[in-house]
Amino acid sequence: MTAQTLAERSEILAPTGVAPLLTSDQLRAHFDISKWTANEWRKAGCPMRLLPGGRRRYDLAAVYAWLDQRSEAIAQINAEKAAKAVAGRS
């Protein structure tokens, strides 16, 4: 049996409504992030499933949704900081 890529597994599983779960290594490779960054994401609430034996698995769609929410929150915080800075100069 040959190893399948994430794209191949996603295509095979799509009709069933199931998404493949990524290992921590696969998550880091997909987003090209360091181990430290992946740990920081986890601490910040990145959605994951904890399997027996303590293994972590990540649903790629859930991670993308989480990142979108974070970027919106960060944009809002930055907008509020900018507004305060402008108001402070007046």
Buried b (16+ CB within 10 A) or exposed e, 40-64: ebeeeebebeeeeeeebebbbeebe
Distance of CA 10 to the CA centre of its chain: 17
Instruction: Tally the domains of the chain.
Output: 1
Domain of 20, CATH number, reads 1.10.10
In a domain, 1, yes or no: no
In a domain, 82, yes or no: yes
In a domain, 27, yes or no: yes
Mean pLDDT of all residues in 7-29 = 79
In a domain, 35, yes or no: yes
- Identify the DSSP state of 51: P
8 Å CB contact between 26 and 56: no
What is the reported pTM?
A: 0.71
In a domain, 77, yes or no: yes
Among 13-17, 19-23, 82-86, the least confident range: 13-17
Lookup result for tokens 């990142």: 67
Q: Could you tell me the residue range of the domain that residue 31 belongs to?
A: 6-89
Tell me the sheet residues that pair with 84: none
- pLDDT tier at 81, thresholds 50, 70, 90: confident
